[in-house]
A = this chain, B = another copy of it.
Amino acid sequence: MIKNTEFIDKLRLSGLRPTKQRLKICEVLFNREKTFHFTINDLAKSISEQLNEKISLATVYNTVHAFKDKGYLKEISINSDKSYFDTNISNHHHFFDEDTNQLIDCHEDDIEKINIKRNITGKKIKSVEVLIKVASDNQNQN
């Protein structure tokens, strides 16, 4: 259980005012054991369910983007339907279950280190993301 003051410090440190809404969103996002993979809609739903309170959708978008920019969240590229975010900001990869639309973290040992032997001239590698799509045996390949 992370204390509210910790969130306040965290926000202040990164130049974000610790508003009521942001603190509530911190609670929902970071007060949990496992990492949380979510879409904006999932998050909005969690907020209204867990806190029985409504935060404007615009604020949820603003806050998630602010948190992403500050490095508290990672955005994950899965498909173009919607944006997925991850509270696990460490360098890691994902399984994506096409049957349930669930993301699952890859652990360090689940996948061998990716070894890239070419580089694009004048460019620097910003990130390397591996997405492993899985589905029940009887499903078609997408």
Residues of B within 8 A of A82 (CB): 80
Known contacts A123-B135, A128-B130, A134-B124, A111 near B104 by CB under 8 Å = no
* B residues near A107, Cβ cutoff 8 Å: 118
Please pick, from B97, B123, B124, B132, the residue contacting A128 in the complex, using a CB distance under 8 A.
Answer: B132
- The CA of A137 and the CA of B124, in the complex, are separated in Å by 6
Name the CB-closest residue of B to A81: B80
Contact with B along A111-142 (1 / 0, CB 8 A): 11011111110111111111111111101011
Give the distance in Å from the alpha carbon of A139 to the alpha carbon of B124 in the complex.
Answer: 9
Q: Taking the full assembly, how many copies of this chain does it contain?
A: 2
Q: Which residues of A contact B (CB under 8 A)?
A: 75, 77-83, 95, 97-99, 104, 106-107, 109-112, 114-120, 122-137, 139, 141-142
* 19 sample A-B contacts, Cβ–Cβ < 8 Å, listed by A number: A77-B79, A79-B80, A79-B83, A80-B83, A97-B120, A98-B126, A106-B118, A109-B117, A111-B115, A111-B117, A114-B130, A124-B134, A124-B135, A126-B135, A126-B139, A126-B142, A127-B133, A129-B133, A130-B130
